[in-house]
């Protein structure tokens, strides 16, 4: 069908309500369709579709040479992906659970992160390592960890985390389009949260924008900074605090390395107060770096110290105790009341 002047009519992109799992599946499908050099690797991702079914149906549609069930050997998976990337492929690796990434840590931090620098810029390794991370699902030991600080601390890696289904759909495509190695942290407690997703191929500008922070709501009293699973918690905390007459800005970092803190600095200069929230242990966590940067950049605007809300410095507890371990709305609002009192 054409218009009266012969031009093709504009069509609205399809929008669908879906979970983060479904959005990731759709994003992976898009990159497999668009680039024949992309392939998926991981434990049980082909026949089973992965533990969380993120890759469900992709082996059927793209074949076992592009959706590959690997042995239970994380170091071998990442090492093989590095060799494939050197040969011109774009591997997307799934680590089944966050606590399982440590056997591959040597490959990631000594090979993957450093090879571009070691080669004098001659060789790039466009590898995406997908890791379900964080708690909140009642899992057993080694299935609910937050290892992001290890990777953010490692030069040569990009680290990124979606907070909702739309971010997951666009973000996985931005990660695959990037020539750098990327740790893609998927908040497993948000896997089943639904949201409206625009199922359109992102433009180059939209892909670039995924490496910046985004402001979800604007307030005048305090700035809440979070990423991944804690973004929704902060939004809900901000909404609940409006009844107490407290107006909060909520900023989703998205990119953890590199950090885009300019929106955070701008907000803190207006509010004078900031609370940094993450599931990871507070001690030497990402919140410590961000708090220091805010103190350096916004010292004369701060009305109170930057407070952190995170996990205590103990191993992740058995599932029946995790609600006492993880940050929640009450802990976020308590921190806000504390900075408001100063």
- Candidates 296, 241, 233; CA nearest to 264 is 296
Query: For 98, which DSSP code?
Result: G
Read off the tokens for 128.
Answer: 């995406």
309 contacts 118 by C-beta, under 8 angstroms: no
Sign of the dihedral through C-alpha 116, 118, 122, 125: negative
What DSSP element (H or E) covers 169?
helix 165-177
Alpha-carbon distance 335 to 225, whole Å? Answer: 12
Among 143, 153, 278, 324, the active-site one is 143
**143 is an active site residue:** yes
CA-only gyration radius of the chain, Å: 21
φ, ψ (nearest 5 deg) of residue 291 = -60, -40
Catalytic positions: 143
């Amino acid at each position: 069908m054409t218009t009266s002047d012969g031009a093709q009519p504009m069509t609205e992109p399809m929008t669908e309500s879906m979970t983060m799992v479904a959005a990731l599946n759709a994003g992976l499908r898009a990159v497999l369709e668009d680039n024949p050099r992309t392939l998926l690797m991981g434990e049980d991702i082909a026949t089973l579709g992965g533990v969380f079914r993120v890759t469900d149906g992709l082996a059927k549609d793209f074949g076992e040479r592009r959706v590959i069930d690997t042995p239970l050997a994380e170091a071998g998976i990442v090492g093989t992906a590095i060799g494939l990337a050197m040969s011109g492929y774009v591997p997307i690796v799934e680590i089944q659970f966050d606590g399982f990434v440590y056997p591959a840590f040597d490959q990631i931090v000594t090979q993957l992160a450093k090879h571009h620098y070691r080669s004098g810029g001659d060789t790039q390794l466009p590898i995406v390592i997908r890791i379900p991370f964080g708690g909140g699902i009642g899992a057993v030991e080694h299935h609910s960890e937050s290892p992001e600080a290890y990777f953010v601390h490692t030069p040569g890696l990009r680290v990124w985390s979606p907070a909702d289904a739309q971010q997951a759909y666009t973000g996985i495509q931005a990660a695959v389009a990037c020539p750098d190695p990327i740790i893609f942290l998927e908040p497993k407690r948000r896997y089943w949260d639904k949201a409206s997703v625009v199922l359109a191929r992102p433009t180059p500008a939209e892909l670039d924008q995924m490496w910046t922070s985004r402001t979800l709501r604007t307030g005048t009293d305090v700035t809440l900074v979070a990423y991944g699973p804690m973004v929704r918690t902060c939004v809900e905390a901000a909404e609940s605090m409006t009844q107490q007459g407290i107006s909060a800005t909520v900023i989703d970092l998205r990119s953890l390395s590199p950090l885009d803190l300019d929106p955070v600095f701008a907000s803190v200069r207006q509010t004078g107060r900031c609370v940094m929230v993450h599931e990871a242990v507070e001690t030497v966590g990402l919140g410590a770096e961000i708090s220091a940067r805010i103190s350096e950049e916004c010292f004369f605007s701060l009305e109170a110290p930057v407070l952190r809300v995170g996990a205590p410095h103990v191993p992740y507890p058995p599932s029946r105790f995790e609600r006492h371990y993880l940050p929640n709305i009450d802990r976020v609002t308590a921190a806000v009341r504390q900075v408001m009192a100063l």
